[in-house]
Structure 1
């Protein structure tokens, strides 16, 4: 009985991790500026870190969500200003959007590498 419970708990834990890692937003993306950004699970969210370009190594966002629709915060690496943000995955495209007061918004499309 104890062995069965342990096995069931281990399977549930593994399935949760697999579902989190299988989110469509996870991976490497080419940004609108041509840099490469990595989006990876971190804590209960997905962290966005620039891998190449002028700001390589800088974390520029954190989004939560699932199934192709995400929201959180996005930081402009040039100005270091943080905005409410969102991301929407469709195939190999990721539409990123950052807004001030949810009224003044800028968006760009990234491509999966």
Structure 2
């Protein structure tokens, strides 16, 4: 009887822990363009993300941020560059953040929304409703 109760309690704990694990956006994500890979981590209380790889970085790991709107930042390396900053919230959506697009050198307001455990909707906006959403896939 005690072992059945313990097994039921352990099963309940796993069920309750499942959604918490599913709502964790940290990890390595494949972007939907240019074979980009972004590592999302906690940065203090918020989420941030850095560029790990892309088609361009595979061809030239020394690529610089040459399209940045700020001329003083054009000499910084793209590899390891923080492109997601300031996202807060949860458990399934994070808002209030910024997304830097190295292709055009501009920063956009953004939201991150988990759609299951391995799909992340990344929305960047010039101003609402002028937004674009990409679907990223979890690599790990």
Bigger proportion of residues as strand:
1
Show CA shifts across 1:42-81 (max 9, x none). Answer: 1221111011123321111121111110111111121221
Which of residues 103, 123, 129 is equivalent to 1:78? Answer: 103
The structure showing larger relative contact order (alpha-carbon pairs under 8 Å, at least 6 residues apart) is 2
Aligned-partner Cα distance in 2 for 1:80–1:64:
23
Which runs of no fewer than 5 residues in structure 1 stay unpaired? 1-21
Which position in structure 1 is the counterpart of 2:32?
32
1:99 and 2:136 matched? no
Aligned-partner Cα distance in 2 for 1:90–1:28:
16
Moved over 2 A (4+): none
TM-score of the pair, normalised by structure 2: 0.61
Contact 1:84 1:102 survives alignment (8 Å): no
RMSD across aligned C-alpha pairs, in angstroms?
1.3
Contact 1:27 1:40 survives alignment (8 Å): yes
Which runs of no fewer than 5 residues in structure 2 stay unpaired? 1-20, 58-77
Q: How many residues align?
A: 92
Show CA shifts across 1:70-95 (max 9, x none). Answer: 11111112122111100100221000
